[in-house]
Chains A and B, each alone.
Chain A
């Protein structure tokens, strides 16, 4: 395999990890060549960004990488794609190769008092190709939206090696079908992302994060909902429980709200919130406020078993007793969207997850667990294929007819609460 690839990817871009070949192409043309050969040879390919920080050689091979189940024949890494292709501060956009990290681009933008308003799980170490591929967002989605709302363009090399430059570099663009959104969050099922153009934002005058502490989840939920009902513009609104990295302190349940606006608007918002919640236990300003967001992102990253559930906010209170019985390491709830994320302790008991999953699905919500072969919940596995599942399968085949990218959709949908194929 490596001999075949050596004519496509420079020698320094080829290696093996735990016996699995890893190709690290630099250019779209090289990625295209790899995909074409994989298609001819019938190899199964896993695109990878920052990947899974290795604790042991075996763990460098993703058991459940982006859209992957099982061991791939070949990992294609974006590690050699490190350039900031274009950054035009006046146009508020930046184009980067897929291997640039979130922390790396933030450093470039900081000099112009701008930033990429994304804080996905994993924090600064995640690659921007990975951010788009997973589509995952963090607390800032409340004000700035998710990756799908901030990606203007993507270059995708599909399973046939076709190089597709999708979208563009302008904030409003409806020229043709929105394949950028199809690709964003597709977890590698349609191809490998090699380049991304993001919308960036100017830093606003003040950035402040407030923290209120409560003794239990239920009390924190009630406070968070009361503060959220004020309808003031918040950048992030989280309920946190468990142990979190610095600078977040305390170990009970905490309501954490972030406000980015002009100084006067921030102060007025703080006053309004304090009327309801009392004086906050902590107030983080400027870089410290950013550090809180990074701590939340870091706390939800890594390779621990992670569950993610979503339910209508009005039904969220009913989940609190079950969550109290779930031995999570840490829990984060987006207070105004109804999305909960939790990480489980290494080697901890996962036995309560199926009941939690069934309960959430019973409420009409969605549930998924990653980082384990353990399948949470039983409510949908015997359900026959749905029309939506069929559409997804056909869309995947439209980009990858040879099955080079054995995404989870090929063997079964991982969509929350959806039927398995």
Chain B
């Protein structure tokens, strides 16, 4: 699983040509500085790039890509490097085209509730800029204080509040993209409404395989007048899952429904991020409503009643912003807290139908036991979007093998339940091998043809998303254990 590959060279003549476009500071070839770019949020893989180029605008990206095309060099776009599927890894010594210097808000058009930004802008910085106008940018991935808008476009990112508001693609109204040939193409735009076919929708979530988005136009929405949050403490994760189903069935429309399991609670409470969750709890459920202030207390009361009816031993309701932050703390700090349990963490990502959550969680627990691995679950319960976190030490090859085998089985369980291999982290490099489990060979061929339309030379983020022949034919199965359900 852990792979480190020798770096190729960019070459002095190519570096000189690129510097002539982006300036001396915009090209990195020093091996020490390149170490930063050899991995992204998925640290199991290491692929050093041959070089890094940091353009400042669309025209520079176009010029850089024209040079790389002339040289026949592969390239990978990279935002903040927070991706969790290896999507920004420069496989084969690709040149990284980083967007770190393209981090401006180009236009904030409050009357029309829209903004135009560069791809390197940090997600949270956009909402910070729009709040004085009473507007927000709705998609809020957990890494929003670090992840870039370009990365969000590539991955079609979600977040806790996409339960109510939808994922990134709903908010992207227009894109300026640069194709691998260097050609600049404008897709959509708020002035045009939606065009057909929906090339904006096709580009969002294409994981950097079609080109580089250099300008992004997004829709903004009014900031909700009020927010209410509650925390339900449960003896078991099944009870918490039942509360989620009851809340969704009761006609309420929560903004977020998040569950953390017992392992996660213990990790958080033993860390510097302790949030005051009971350490002996089986699960904690965070429920949040937002909207017109007048109706929120009633919504929260109904949700609390659903929790109690499902066996919650305690329901805490926040009455101030500080209390709200405290209720969220256990959820938001979970990943950081896990660092004290093991040196490495594989954050898995899959979605299952909401009604199948209890059985899938039970099977994931059994898989963890069978492979003697600590598995902690933190997930977007309202969407059925699971994040089983496998804790391990990558210096132990035998444990790494067990992590890989357990991951395979978790994916198989989720698919068998009618789910999919990734809800928001993307396929990248890591999940190519699972693609044939959810897509027929005809569908994967169709995806290949679509990529060819945008990138006929195949130099744009080579080796991502689409499985190779070996991966298409591999057989990933789950070992059925007692109590597991049939497909």
Show the binding face of A for B, using Cβ within 8 Å: 88-93, 113, 135, 145-146, 148-149, 158, 162-166, 168-179, 181-187, 189-190, 201-205, 231-233, 261-269, 310-314, 336-339, 363-366, 387-388, 391-392, 394-395, 398-399, 409, 415-418
- Do the beta carbons of A418 and B193 come within 8 Å of each other? no
Q: List 8 A-B contacts (CB under 8 A).
A: A91-B384, A146-B194, A168-B418, A171-B384, A172-B162, A181-B204, A182-B201, A265-B295
Known contacts A165-B443, A177-B450, A262-B298; A172/B351 CB under 8 A: yes
Instruction: Report chain B residues within 8 Å CB of A261.
Output: 291-292, 295
Q: Is B32 an interface residue (CB 8 A)?
A: no
Smallest CB gap from B222: residue in A:
A231
Q: Is B365 an interface residue (CB 8 A)?
A: no
Known contacts A177-B447, A268-B294, A395-B450; A172/B158 CB under 8 A: yes
A303 to B140, CA, bound (A): 43
Q: Is B424 an interface residue (CB 8 A)?
A: yes
Instruction: Report chain A residues within 8 Å CB of B109.
Output: 312, 314
Instruction: Report chain A residues within 8 Å CB of B293.
Output: 268
State the Cβ distance, A275 to closest chain B Cβ, in Å. 14
Smallest CB gap from A181: residue in B:
B201
Q: Is B71 an interface residue (CB 8 A)?
A: no
- Do the beta carbons of A170 and B199 come within 8 Å of each other? no
- Do the beta carbons of A232 and B292 come within 8 Å of each other? yes
Instruction: Report chain A residues within 8 Å CB of B409.
Output: none
Q: Is B229 an interface residue (CB 8 A)?
A: no
Kindly identify which residue among A169, A310, A363 contacts B418, using a CB–CB cutoff of 8 Å: A169
Q: Is B393 an interface residue (CB 8 A)?
A: no
B184-206 to A contact mask, C-beta < 8 Å, 1/0: 11110011111111110110111
Smallest CB gap from B113: residue in A:
A336
Kindly identify which residue among B206, B294, B352 contacts A170, using a CB–CB cutoff of 8 Å: B352
Instruction: Report chain A residues within 8 Å CB of B274.
Output: none
- Do the beta carbons of B201 and A178 come within 8 Å of each other? yes
Instruction: Report chain A residues within 8 Å CB of B450.
Output: 177, 179, 182, 395, 398
Instruction: Report chain A residues within 8 Å CB of B26.
Output: none
Kindly identify which residue among A185, A190, A263, A391 contacts B454, using a CB–CB cutoff of 8 Å: A391
Instruction: Report chain B residues within 8 Å CB of A336.
Output: 113
- Do the beta carbons of A170 and B249 come within 8 Å of each other? no
- Do the beta carbons of A172 and B447 come within 8 Å of each other? no
State the Cβ distance, B110 to closest chain A Cβ, in Å. 10
| CB under 8 Å from chain A, chain B span 397-442 | 418-427, 431, 434-435, 438-440, 442
Smallest CB gap from A199: residue in B:
B166
Q: Is B465 an interface residue (CB 8 A)?
A: yes
Instruction: Report chain A residues within 8 Å CB of B419.
Output: 168, 170
Interface residues of B, count at CB 8 A:
93
- Do the beta carbons of A310 and B192 come within 8 Å of each other? yes
Smallest CB gap from B154: residue in A:
A174
Instruction: Report chain B residues within 8 Å CB of A312.
Output: 109, 112, 190-191
- Do the beta carbons of B354 and A91 come within 8 Å of each other? yes
| CB under 8 Å from chain A, chain B span 120-148 | 134-135
Known contacts A168-B438, A268-B295; A395/B197 CB under 8 A: yes
Q: Is B156 an interface residue (CB 8 A)?
A: yes
State the Cβ distance, A350 to closest chain B Cβ, in Å. 22
Known contacts A179-B447, A416-B193; A173/B201 CB under 8 A: no
Instruction: Report chain A residues within 8 Å CB of B198.
Output: 135, 148, 181-182, 184-186
Instruction: Report chain B residues within 8 Å CB of A399.
Output: 446, 449
Known contacts A135-B194, A233-B222, A312-B190; A174/B427 CB under 8 A: yes
- Do the beta carbons of A177 and B426 come within 8 Å of each other? no
A336 to B431, CA, bound (A): 40
- Do the beta carbons of B294 and A264 come within 8 Å of each other? yes
A185 to B198, CA, bound (A): 7
Smallest CB gap from B302: residue in A:
A262
State the Cβ distance, B469 to closest chain A Cβ, in Å. 17
- Do the beta carbons of A311 and B442 come within 8 Å of each other? no
Q: Is B353 an interface residue (CB 8 A)?
A: yes
- Do the beta carbons of B251 and A205 come within 8 Å of each other? yes
- Do the beta carbons of B170 and A313 come within 8 Å of each other? no
State the Cβ distance, A69 to closest chain B Cβ, in Å. 15
State the Cβ distance, A43 to closest chain B Cβ, in Å. 22
- Do the beta carbons of B294 and A415 come within 8 Å of each other? no
Kindly identify which residue among A90, A337, A339, A418 contacts B249, using a CB–CB cutoff of 8 Å: A90
Instruction: Report chain B residues within 8 Å CB of A231.
Output: 134-135, 222-223
> Which of A88, A262, A263, A364 counts the most chain B CB atoms within 10 A?
A262
State the Cβ distance, B247 to closest chain A Cβ, in Å. 10
- Do the beta carbons of B249 and A388 come within 8 Å of each other? no
State the Cβ distance, A31 to closest chain B Cβ, in Å. 14
- Do the beta carbons of B197 and A189 come within 8 Å of each other? yes
Kindly identify which residue among A149, A174, A184 contacts B155, using a CB–CB cutoff of 8 Å: A174
Closest 5 CB pairs of A and B: A181-B201, A265-B295, A310-B193, A268-B294, A231-B222
> Which of B193, B198, B422 counts the most chain A CB atoms within 10 A?
B193
Instruction: Report chain A residues within 8 Å CB of B438.
Output: 168, 175-176
- Do the beta carbons of B201 and A339 come within 8 Å of each other? no
Instruction: Report chain A residues within 8 Å CB of B296.
Output: 265
- Do the beta carbons of A269 and B201 come within 8 Å of each other? no
- Do the beta carbons of B294 and A164 come within 8 Å of each other? no
Q: Is B385 an interface residue (CB 8 A)?
A: yes
State the Cβ distance, A357 to closest chain B Cβ, in Å. 13
Instruction: Report chain B residues within 8 Å CB of A263.
Output: 295
A310 to B380, CA, bound (A): 36
Q: Is B11 an interface residue (CB 8 A)?
A: no
Instruction: Report chain B residues within 8 Å CB of A391.
Output: 185, 199, 453-454
Instruction: Report chain B residues within 8 Å CB of A314.
Output: 109, 111-112
Known contacts A313-B112, A392-B199; A366/B292 CB under 8 A: no
Q: Is B104 an interface residue (CB 8 A)?
A: no
Smallest CB gap from A91: residue in B:
B353
State the Cβ distance, B145 to closest chain A Cβ, in Å. 21
> Which of B134, B194, B197, B245 counts the most chain A CB atoms within 10 A?
B197
A172 to B209, CA, bound (A): 20
- Do the beta carbons of B427 and A175 come within 8 Å of each other? yes
Instruction: Report chain A residues within 8 Å CB of B418.
Output: 168-170
Q: Is B363 an interface residue (CB 8 A)?
A: no
Q: Is B288 an interface residue (CB 8 A)?
A: no
Q: Is B383 an interface residue (CB 8 A)?
A: yes
- Do the beta carbons of A176 and B444 come within 8 Å of each other? yes
- Do the beta carbons of A310 and B191 come within 8 Å of each other? yes
Smallest CB gap from A201: residue in B:
B253
Instruction: Report chain B residues within 8 Å CB of A262.
Output: 295, 298-299
State the Cβ distance, B8 to closest chain A Cβ, in Å. 28
State the Cβ distance, B111 to closest chain A Cβ, in Å. 5
| CB under 8 Å from chain A, chain B span 171-193 | 179, 183-187, 190-193
- Do the beta carbons of B196 and A202 come within 8 Å of each other? no
Instruction: Report chain A residues within 8 Å CB of B347.
Output: none
Instruction: Report chain A residues within 8 Å CB of B197.
Output: 182-183, 185-186, 189-190, 392, 395, 409
State the Cβ distance, B129 to closest chain A Cβ, in Å. 17
B246-274 to A contact mask, C-beta < 8 Å, 1/0: 00111111000000000000000000000
- Do the beta carbons of B449 and A398 come within 8 Å of each other? yes
Known contacts A165-B443, A231-B222; A91/B191 CB under 8 A: no
Instruction: Report chain B residues within 8 Å CB of A164.
Output: 440, 442-443, 446
Q: Is B355 an interface residue (CB 8 A)?
A: yes
Q: Is B103 an interface residue (CB 8 A)?
A: no
State the Cβ distance, B350 to closest chain A Cβ, in Å. 9
Instruction: Report chain A residues within 8 Å CB of B421.
Output: 175
Instruction: Report chain B residues within 8 Å CB of A166.
Output: 443
B378-391 to A contact mask, C-beta < 8 Å, 1/0: 00100111000000
